[in-house]
Amino acid sequence: MAELLTWAGVLLAVALVIWVLVRENDSRRQRTVEQWERENAAGQGKLNQFVRAGALGLEGMLMSEKRQAVQYQKDEEQGMTRTGSKGDDADRTAEKE
C-alpha cells in the first residue's frame, strides 16, 4: 500500500508540473504587447537568455575537453606519453611462467 501511495504521489507531481507548464504557455500566448513589455522590463523575459548563456558556457567547456582529448591521442600515437616505467611496456611487465 505504501508503494502505491508513493507512485501515486510521483505521478501526481509529474501531472502537476505538466499542468503548470501548459498553463504558463497559454498565459504567454494570450498576453498583450503591453503585458509583454512590462514583463520584459521587470526581467521576467530574461530566463531564456540565462539558459542560452549557460549552454554556451557548457559547450565551451566541452569543446576544450575535446581538444585536450584529441591532443592526448596525437601525443600517444607519437609515443610522447610514455614515461619509461615498467607499466608502459607490456613485454617487460608480463608475468613469466
Residue 39 placed within a domain: yes
Residue 62 placed within a domain: yes
Locate 41 and state its grid cell. Answer: 522590463
pLDDT per residue as tens digits for the range 58-88: 888 888 888 888 888 888 888 776 665 655 5
Are 18 and 11 in contact, with CB atoms under 8 Å apart? no
CA–CA gap between residue 23 and residue 46 (Å, rounded): 19
Q: Which of 3-7, 65-69, 90-94 has the highest mean pLDDT?
A: 3-7
Residue 87 placed within a domain: no
- Name the residue type at position 12: L
pTM of the model: 0.38
Number of domains in the chain: 1
Are 81 and 75 in contact, with CB atoms under 8 Å apart? yes
- Name the residue type at position 52: R
pLDDT per residue as tens digits for the range 40-56: 777 765 667 777 788 88
Domain extent, residue 31, equals 2-79
* Distance set, CA 6 to CA 1, 14, 19, 37, 71 (Å): 9, 13, 20, 43, 49
